[in-house]
Structure 1
Amino acid sequence: MAGVLRAMTPADVPAVLAVQEPGAVLGLAEVFPQDEHPFPREAIAERGLREIELDGTECFVVLHHEAVAGFAATRDDEFLHFGVAPEHWGDGLARAAHDAVLDSMRASGVERARLRVFTGNVRGRCFYEKLGWTPTGERSRSSFPPRPELLTYELSLSSAGG
């Protein structure tokens, strides 16, 4: 984890939300128009607290100079949640955190990872595709209104960098 990640605690949830909300509002504006579907802060906080306590789910904070600058979560072979603060977009922090999460998954014995990303999240899809993730063709829907489509991606961890 090399200083980029550490385990998330319940006390981290407010700082994670402070990073996650502006990134979601900016990066997912086409997916969740804020005038109709504002960031569900309370629901995301509750989900984060549940996932921290859930067996088999690993929740992390992404650190930049010891401050919370992002978040990640995994469950078994699934890369559940991931994001960094908009001010770190393009500076390499997301790549370093992504690779650290994959290292954690590898250490847990995961050989093939999967994730879901919103079809309308062009920036996110480009990020993952640049790092070798490939779409499986599987589609699903988010539980959050307006229930946008999610695409499933996968990555062999035996061939992924880290």
Structure 2
Amino acid sequence: MTDGSRRVWRAAPGTLAAVVVFTVLAAGAVAGLAYLVYRRQGTPWIPGALALLAVLALLYAWRFGLHPRLVADDDGVHVRNPFSSRSFPWSEITLVAPGENGLVIGTDDEVAEAWCVQKSNAAIAQGRFTRADAVAHDLIDALELRDPPLEDRETGLRIRRARPDEARLLTRIERAASEERLEHLFLPEEFPYPVREVTTLWRQLLHDPAARVFVLVHADDDEALGLVAFAGAEVLHLAVVPHRTRLGYGSALLEFAVRQIHDGGEPEGGLWVLEGDAGTRAFYRRHGWTDTGQRRPSRYPPHPEELRMVKQVRSRPRRAA
């Protein structure tokens, strides 16, 4: 989307056609019935009530079928539903994703669903790419025109926003980055990689307005090389595909997350790391993260211990002398 442009999405053409045809037929049938009653009884009251029902049917079709729309312009994204309207400035949008009742547009403070852009529950469960995903991609592309991804022109690397349909991609990246490295903690014969659970977790994060999920890619072909996810002051996930380790990609993703946490006004960042993952713990220490002594069981069986690490990301104000 370029400056001065405006895009409008309404209900899918098939849905609009079905609503219009059904309503016209229903209104015609009611009007015809009104005429027959009038011819037979000669009284205007019942035919008048039926005619009113026909008019209400047409109004219903307009309000629920033709009126709802999603508009994107230079000011932001505007959701028009049958009985409500919301507008979201581009600078405040943190979430664009298909939901159960429409395309979800969200900020840190509020969320609205655009009824006109639907994705069925079956399509969501199966991970199928639909019109709703295509609209979400268009809106995220427009968002990135105003807030471009971090890009290094020399290396051709870019840190871009994850798309709402990329849960499986994120699962593949995380699995590739961790499965072999952590096999001493999660024996493959006893505890195979929990693909379904991890994919579900990513879908939840991609629909959470408080979460930020980014993917490291090659700008030329969009090849995914790594990922980072954080919410508030918490780094939730960091991963780099095995054949791209020791090239500084993990450091770049971590530095990006820390900077975003800093820009969000948080004084300290935090994360959890597996106690038995010595290499990752050393990586974080090299970047200024320190152990706090806090422990907790990890999410997946056999639930090895995790350790809490923190890093000061914003200078604390000095006390007056």
Deviates more, 1:12-21 or 1:117-126: 12-21
Quick one: which of 168, 173, 196 aligns to 1:19? 173
Compare 20-29 and 89-98 and name the one that shifted more: 20-29
Is the aligned partner of 1:2 residue 2:150? yes
Alignment of 1:130-149 (within 5 A): 130-149=286-305
**Letter paired with 1:93:** Y
Amino acid across the alignment from 1:27: R
Bigger Cα Rg: 2
* Matching of residue 152 in structure 1 with residue 308 in structure 2: yes
Q: Which residue of 2 aligns with 1:84?
A: 240
8 A Cα contact 1:57 1:76, kept in partner:
yes
1:30, distance to aligned residue in structure 2 (A): 1.6
Q: Secondary structure of 1:126's match?
A: helix
Structure 1 or 2: more strand by fraction: 1
Structure 2 match to 1:127:
283
Q: What amino acid sits opposite 1:68 in the alignment?
A: A
Q: Is the 8 A contact 2:235 2:270 kept in 1?
A: yes
Out of 81-90 and 19-28, give the one that drifted further. Answer: 19-28
Identify the match of residue 37 of structure 1 among 172, 184, 191: 191
SS in 2 for 1:106: helix
CA distance in 1, matches of 2:176, 2:208: 26
Other-structure match for 1:59: 213
Q: Which structure has more RCO (C-alpha within 8 Å, separation ≥ 6)? A: 1
User: For 1:1-38, what per-residue CA distance to the aligned partner results, in whole angstroms no more than 9, with x for missing partners?
Assistant: 52242211222222222222121112211221111111
Query: What is the number of residues matched between the two proteins?
Result: 159
| Conservation of the 8 A alpha-carbon contact between 2:171 and 2:202 | no
Cα deviation digits, residues 50-97 of structure 1 (max 9, x gap): 011113111111224432111111111110111110111111111111
Which residue in the other structure is 1:111 paired with? 267
Q: 2:299 is paired with a residue of what secondary structure?
A: coil
* TM-score (norm. length: structure 1): 0.91
Whichever residue aligns with residue 57 of structure 1, its letter is A
Distance 2:289 2:307 in 1: 11
RMSD over aligned CA atoms reads: 1.4
Q: Could you tell me whether the CA contact under 8 Å between 2:258 and 2:313 is conserved in 1?
A: yes
Structure 2: distance between partners of 1:7 and 1:59: 6
Partner SS for 1:117: strand
Question: 2:289 touches 2:310 (CA, 8 Å); kept in 1?
Answer: yes
Identity of aligned residues (%): 25
